[in-house]
């Protein structure tokens, strides 16, 4: 996919995203939370601030390698182990901009090495407190849109999330129709019709909580179907593996190999199940926003999201 970023050309889409966090209602047994809005690539305005020094080298204990171990009946079909010196642009591109992304987020997403880079076998997404364009914070949002897209599979990432009140890292997916201009029905390219799977959302204001959510037509924004995975330790203190097992029957969420949630078409009570199409992968760290909340004056910048790997396994039988 070309790295040229596109401006938003559909005002109705932008308006829909801004309203999405207030739309819909969840089922009685579900918790609700707004989710990162659908991604739209935009063209970065010319930089108006002073040129930054080279990014600092982060210091972190590198985790022991995690062997590639497919679930029974699965095989590895794609991965990024981040073992090189640079981000592999045959796997990833970037969202650029600081318009709030439908959630009132405070950061400006860039493609600078200061915000996204590979170091010591890890992808580093760095959130900074700095004035950049119209924002006072920067970060990165990376996606495989138009490059690597998948329908069904066991999809996992090993991540160390940033902590502190105001941080909002996520590992999630959007339907690959998002933003397409060649569809006969343009609404099929819009969020939430395309569908969204939040494999992991985390906020530093609740350090023991991991969220797994789906969004679609009639169950988007605050009405997304969410399961809370409350733990007895701060998630930010170590690397953890976040995953889904997704097939024709539904989606199941895993934390460090233990299932904690499941959604099926029956979970929607007649609403449309849109998770029967290819999706692409997104990694990002937002700051503030409807879910991230108030950015604490005590939050120590920079903040780091470390990703050891992203892997996709799919069934070996001919039907997958």
**DSSP assignments along 132-158, one per residue:** ETTEEEEE-EEE-TTTSEESSEEEEEE
Please report whether residue 5 resides in a domain. Answer: no
Please report whether residue 35 resides in a domain. Answer: yes
Please report whether residue 50 resides in a domain. Answer: no
pLDDT tens-place string over residues 87-146 = 999 999 999 999 999 999 999 999 999 999 999 999 999 999 999 999 999 999 999 999
pLDDT tens-place string over residues 32-63 = 445 455 554 444 444 444 455 455 566 788 89
Please report whether residue 56 resides in a domain. Answer: no
Q: Which one of 72, 196, 249, 258 is the catalytic residue? A: 196
> Is the dihedral angle over the CA atoms 317, 247, 67, 175 positive or is it negative?
positive
Please report whether residue 51 resides in a domain. Answer: no
The answer to whether 197 and 214 are in contact (CB under 8 A) is yes
**Euclidean distance between the first and the last CA atom of the chain, given in angstroms as a whole number:** 25
Q: What would the two tokens of residue 84 be?
A: 């090189």
Which H/E stretch holds residue 93?
Answer: strand 93-95
Q: What would the two tokens of residue 310 be?
A: 């992203």
| Number of domains the chain contains | 1
Domain of 19 in residue numbering reads as 11-45+71-315
**Which one-letter DSSP state was computed for residue 55?**
P
pLDDT number for residue 61: 85
HSE value, Cβ hemisphere, 13 Å, CA-based, for 262 = 8
Active-site residue 47, yes or no? no
Q: What would the two tokens of residue 174 be?
A: 């959007």
Determine the Cα–Cα distance for residues 309 and 298; give it in Å rounded to an integer. Answer: 30
Q: Which one of 47, 201, 236, 258 is the catalytic residue? A: 201
3-class DSSP assignment, residue 127: strand
Rounded to the nearest 5 percent, the helix, strand and coil shares of the chain are 10, 40, 55
> Which residues 6+ apart lie within 8 Å of 185 measured at CB?
none
pLDDT number for residue 56: 57
pLDDT number for residue 60: 87
Please report whether residue 4 resides in a domain. Answer: no
CATH number at residue 282: 2.60.120.200
Could you say which residues of the chain have pLDDT below 50? Answer: 1-33, 35, 40-50, 53, 320
**DSSP assignments along 228-289, one per residue:** EEE-SS-GGGS-EEEEEEEETTEEEEEETTEEEEEE-GGGGTTS----SS-EEEEEEEEEBH
Please report whether residue 61 resides in a domain. Answer: no
The answer to whether 173 and 145 are in contact (CB under 8 A) is no
Active-site residue 30, yes or no? no
Determine the Cα–Cα distance for residues 242 and 245; give it in Å rounded to an integer. Answer: 11
3-class DSSP assignment, residue 160: strand
Please report whether residue 64 resides in a domain. Answer: no
Strands 209-215 and 122-132: unpaired
């Amino acid at each position: 996919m070309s790295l040229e970023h596109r401006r938003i050309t559909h005002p109705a889409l932008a308006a829909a995203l801004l309203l999405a966090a207030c739309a819909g209602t969840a089922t009685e047994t579900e918790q609700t939370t707004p989710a990162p809005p659908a991604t739209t690539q935009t063209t970065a305005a010319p930089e108006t601030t002073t040129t930054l020094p080279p990014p600092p080298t982060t210091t972190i204990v590198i985790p022991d390698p995690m062997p590639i171990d497919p679930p029974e009946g699965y095989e590895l079909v794609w991965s990024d182990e981040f073992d090189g010196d640079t981000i592999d642009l045959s796997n990833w591109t970037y969202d650029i901009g600081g318009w709030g992304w439908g959630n009132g987020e405070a950061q400006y997403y860039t493609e600078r090495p200061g915000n996204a880079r590979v170091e010591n076998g890890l992808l580093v997404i760095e959130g900074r407190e700095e004035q950049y364009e119209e924002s006072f914070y920067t970060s990165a949002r990376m996606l495989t849109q138009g490059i690597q897209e998948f329908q069904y599979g066991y999809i996992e990432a090993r991540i160390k999330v940033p902590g502190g009140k105001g941080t909002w890292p996520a590992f999630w997916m959007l339907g690959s129709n998002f933003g397409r201009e060649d569809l006969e029905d343009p609404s099929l390219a819009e969020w939430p019709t395309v569908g969204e799977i939040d494999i992991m959302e985390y906020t530093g204001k609740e350090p023991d909580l991991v969220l797994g959510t789906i969004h679609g037509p009639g169950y988007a924004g605050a009405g997304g179907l969410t399961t809370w995975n409350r733990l007895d330790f701060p998630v930010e203190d170590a690397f953890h593996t976040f995953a889904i097992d997704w097939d024709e029957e539904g989606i199941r969420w895993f934390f460090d190999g233990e299932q904690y949630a499941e959604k099926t078409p029956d979970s929607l009570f007649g609403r449309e199940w849109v998770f029967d199409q290819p999706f692409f992968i997104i990694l990002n760290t937002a700051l503030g926003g409807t879910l991230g909340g108030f950015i604490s004056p005590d939050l120590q910048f920079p903040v780091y999201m470390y990703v050891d790997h992203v892997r996709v396994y799919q069934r070996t039988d001919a039907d997958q």
